[in-house]
Amino acid sequence: MLKSRLLLYPVPSFSFCCGALIPSSLSLYSEQTIMAYVAAKPTKPGLEESQEQIHKIRITLSSKHVQNLEKVCGDLVRGAKDKRLRVKGPVRMPTKVLHITTRKSPCGEGTNTWDRFELRVHKRVIDLYSSPDVVKQITSITIEPGVEVEVTIADA
């Protein structure tokens, strides 16, 4: 448990005259007192609190199926809020659309007809602030097929 201690510091007062700072030693109030609260470390060896180091954990999810992706995002956020973690997200990143245009005819003869294919990749980002052990518990949920998960851990 952290205790706070009140410290008093005497500070000489100055007056401003003709563009210069002059010590006002002739005044009745020659010293002002500034009070500050300083956190003191515990003095007894058994009183330290065990603090787990908090990390910023970024979970990046990507999929071509929006419904599966939203379901996994909802499960992750719900699990994190049940553990009372600080959660940011899911942040919806721009959808990447990949286009491929090919000729229909395999031999190259005949009318020029084309097929147009596209692949849409959806991406979500969730930020959590907790210890890595808690995140292991949260990410142990069943992940839908076709959803890729990337977990990055950084110091907060």
Number of domains the chain contains: 2
User: Could you state, in chain order, the average pLDDT of each consecutive group of 10 residues for the chain (156 residues)?
Assistant: 45 51 48 47 56 85 97 93 91 97 90 95 95 82 91 82
* Shared-domain flag, residues 86 and 130: yes
Question: CB of 22 within 8 A of CB of 12?
Answer: no
Residue from 126, 133, 36, 130 nearest 76 by CA? 126
Confidence (pTM)? 0.62
In a domain, 17, yes or no: yes
**Which pairing describes strands 55-63 and 148-155: parallel, antiparallel, or unpaired?**
antiparallel
* Shared-domain flag, residues 62 and 118: yes
**Amino acid letter, 105:** S
**Which residues constitute the domain of residue 28?**
3-42
In a domain, 138, yes or no: yes
* Shared-domain flag, residues 63 and 133: yes
